[in-house]
């Protein structure tokens, strides 16, 4: 099966955190190129990130890569507290970015996003742009007005809505409560969910096959359908905990029909990005 990856990161010196060494260093792009060839990945969406001092110029870096690698599409990082204007967003899109990467991972960031000027969503809509949104259940619950304002703009919620570490034996009712903010947004046709970052549902995160994540995916697919879910590897942060093939396979995937898997693993991202 040929793939399209809805969530990767690329940094000039590689991804690192908490002062630790980068797993791939300056060879990060070459590593993904090799994985792309081995796993038949036709397109990848690069999620910009400029916080935490990893790469304050990441938007410019990934845009340079996008200009020379036709299999890459890029989303520009925008701090929710930055007070962006429609003109600022227009400039990012004119640079060649396919949309925005937004991190509303706590209440303060979510409230800041709620305060963005409404004409930003009109700019994104008129440009056919998309948004990758990292948000946890608490902040997702606050963001319903954003989904309404962004009608017609594809919103891709990352990492199963970041439900956090989940006990493998969590009962179904408790799981539905944890997922309730995410599942409630399924009524908005423009909202999609990335099947990515499954390791973040496990404690420890290397506890593949992430049984609880499989249960999350079952509920998400039931609410959103296979046409609004997309696979993402979360390269390279995921590879601190799991192998690349383990980002592709999840518990319960074999129960899906081949056509449904093709939609999740490739076709949905191609459709959203208007790829040939």
For 45-100, how does the pLDDT look when each residue is reduced to its tens digit (9 = 90+)?
999 999 998 999 999 999 999 999 999 999 999 999 999 999 999 999 999 999 99
**Average pLDDT of span 120-129:** 98
Task: Check if the beta carbon of residue 216 is closer than 8 Å to that of residue 253.
Answer: no
pLDDT band at 276 (very low <50, low <70, confident <90, very high): low
Q: Give the list of residues 6+ apart from residue 108 with CB closer than 8 angstroms, or none.
A: 81
CATH number, domain of 236, equals 3.20.20.140
By residue range, what is the domain housing residue 40?
Answer: 3-273
- 113-117, 172-176, 189-193, 220-224: least confidently modelled range: 172-176
Domain count, the chain: 1
Q: Can you say how many angstroms the Cα of residue 219 is from the centroid of all Cα atoms in its chain?
A: 18
Closest to 194 in 3D by CA, of 156, 167, 221, 164: 156
Q: What is the pLDDT of residues 202-211, one digit of tens each?
A: 999 999 999 9
What pLDDT score was predicted for residue 274? 85
pLDDT for 275 equals 78
| pTM assigned to the model | 0.97
Query: Residues 2-45: pLDDT tens digits?
Result: 999 999 999 999 999 877 889 999 999 999 999 999 999 999 99
Residue 9 to residue 47: CA distance in whole angstroms: 6
Unique residue bearing structure tokens 């990441």: 58
The H or E element spanning position 112 is helix 107-114
Average pLDDT over residues 135-161: 97
- pLDDT digit string (tens) for 223-251? 999 999 999 999 999 999 999 999 999 98
């Amino acid at each position: 099966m040929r793939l399209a990856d809805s969530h990767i990161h690329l940094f000039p010196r590689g991804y690192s955190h908490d002062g630790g060494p980068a797993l791939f260093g300056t060879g990060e792009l070459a590593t993904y190129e090799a994985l792309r060839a081995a796993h038949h990945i036709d397109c990848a969406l690069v999620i910009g990130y400029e916080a935490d001092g990893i790469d304050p110029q990441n938007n410019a870096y990934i845009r340079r890569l996008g200009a020379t690698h036709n299999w890459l599409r890029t989303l520009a990082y925008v701090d929710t507290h930055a007070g962006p204007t429609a003109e600022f967003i227009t400039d990012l899109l004119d640079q060649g970015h396919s949309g925005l990467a937004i991190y509303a991972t706590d209440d303060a960031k979510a409230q800041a996003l709620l305060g963005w000027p409404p004409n930003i969503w009109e700019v994104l809509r008129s440009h056919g742009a998309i948004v990758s949104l990292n948000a946890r259940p608490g902040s997702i619950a606050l963001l319903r007005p954003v989904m309404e304002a962004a009608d017609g703009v594809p919103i891709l919620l990352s990492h199963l809505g970041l439900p956090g570490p989940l006990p493998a034996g969590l009962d179904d009712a408790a799981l539905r409560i944890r997922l309730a903010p995410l599942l409630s947004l399924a009524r908005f046709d423009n909202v999609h969910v990335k099947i990515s970052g499954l390791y973040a549902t496990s404690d420890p995160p290397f506890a593949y096959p992430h049984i609880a994540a499989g249960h999350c995916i079952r509920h998400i697919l039931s609410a959103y359908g296979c046409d609004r879910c997309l696979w993402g590897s979360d390269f390279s942060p995921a590879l601190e905990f799991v192998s690349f093939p383990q980002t592709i396979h999840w518990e319960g995937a074999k129960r899906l029909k081949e056509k449904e898997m093709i939609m999740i693993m490739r076709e949905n991202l191609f459709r959203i990005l208007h790829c040939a």
